[in-house]
Amino acid sequence: MEKLIITAAICGAEVTKENNPAVPYTVSEIAAEAKRAYDAGASVIHLHVREDDGTPTQSKARFQECIDAILRLCPDAIVQPSTGGAVGMSDLERLQSTEVTPAPEFATLDCGTLNFGGDEIFVNSDNTIFNFAKIMKERGIKPELEVFDKGMIDIAMKADRKGLLVRPLHFDFVLGVQMTATVRDLSFMVGSIPAGSTWTVSGIGRHQFEMAAAGIVMGGHVRVGFEDNLYIEKGVLAKSNGELVEKAGKIAALLGREIAGPAEARRILGLKSR
């Protein structure tokens, strides 16, 4: 079985310091949280950025500043900017995260419209998805195909048939939002992607470590971090993203799975060596 890639989603666009005081906003806070996650075993830093007051932004300048700060502390980390941004942002606004220099090697591509709960709808039309895929291919960026249910896999495969993706594909199954987070559902998702694809699982909230354990056993990879979950255990806020990564690493050790470093993660994901 391949070594395990751990992704740390260190801040997201929705959680706040009111939810957990350790959620990072400033450039220095974001870089420090990335370093804590990296030191604990994360090879991939999934990145949203904030203004200093916590407002989510897709500003190219802010992404550049944060990526540069992270790479000063973690020179070989894989920094994966989000093209999701936050609910209500325009397509052009969201794509700014891929305009940094040098171009990212890896970035997220959301593959469908999503009900986040209540009145919050994250809109991704087919044309938006195809356009994002086209632009990322032109820029030499490998997409992590973010899928929240089986229908989004089908939309990703439409993009693949149009020649907008380069195989092998990589998926992130985000479970516990629009589709329930169970081993049954994860198995269904894994069985629905092309042979030779790689995949990560992200369990939301209390499902984070249940899904991490399942992903580890099934040969996939895992994502943890404040974007998806703020607690290290029931009722106990995590002190840092590093603490969440460390827990995922302990689960992997108990289950006999080694952790991949950045160079190994690049090989597994088919990214260019740095």
Give the residue numbers spanning the domain of 53: 6-269
Tell me, yes or no, whether 88 lies in a domain: yes
pLDDT digits (tens, 9 = 90+) for 142-151: 999 999 999 9
Ramachandran class of 7: left when φ > 0, alpha when ψ lies in -120 to 50, beta otherwise: beta
The helix, strand and coil proportions of the chain, stated in percent and rounded to the nearest 5, come to: 40, 20, 40
Tell me, yes or no, whether 66 lies in a domain: yes
Q: What is the pLDDT of residue 135?
A: 95
Tell me, yes or no, whether 129 lies in a domain: yes
Name beta bridge partners: 201: 173, 222
CA 179 centroid distance within chain: 17
Residue tagged 């693949």 (tokens): 160
Cβ neighbours around 176 below 10 Å, total: 21
Tell me, yes or no, whether 130 lies in a domain: yes
Q: What is the pLDDT of residue 231?
A: 98
Q: b or e along 116-144 (b: 16 or more beta carbons within 10 Å of the residue's beta carbon)?
A: eeeeeebebeeebbeebbebbbeeebbbb
pLDDT digits (tens, 9 = 90+) for 67-111: 999 999 999 999 999 999 777 888 889 999 999 999 999 999 999
Tell me, yes or no, whether 274 lies in a domain: no
Number of folded domains in the chain? 1
Question: Do the Cβ atoms of 77 and 34 come closer than 8 Å?
Answer: yes
CATH number at residue 180: 3.20.20.70
Question: With a threshold of 0.95, does the pTM exceed it?
Answer: yes
